[in-house]
Amino acid sequence: MKINYMTKLIEGVFNHLSNWGTFWFGFLFWGSIFGAILTSLFSSYNSSFFISMGYFFGIIFGLISNFKKWSWIN
């Protein structure tokens, strides 16, 4: 019985990643790059704000790429 639940969980995770992989790539990869660029440009200000803004831009970039079906990972 437990194997069936684990199989469904693993299938659900892979299904989610296949549908939302470009979103997570945009959020994690591009968000960290945008955050690093913003903190280096505005180094005299609070860096946690600019890091979070970079991840916000990564979310927006990831959502656009997911809905437009851009492919970076393939």
Residue pLDDT tens, the chain, 74 long: 567 888 888 899 888 888 888 888 889 999 999 999 999 998 888 888 889 999 999 999 999 988 888 776 54
The C-alpha atoms of residue 59 and residue 39 are separated, in whole angstroms, by: 18
What does the pLDDT look like over 45-60, one tens digit per residue? 888 888 999 999 999 9
**What is the pLDDT at residue 2?**
63
Residues with Cβ < 8 Å from 28, sequence gap 6 or more?
58
Within its chain, how far is the Cα of 2 from the centroid? Answer: 31
49 residue type, one letter: F
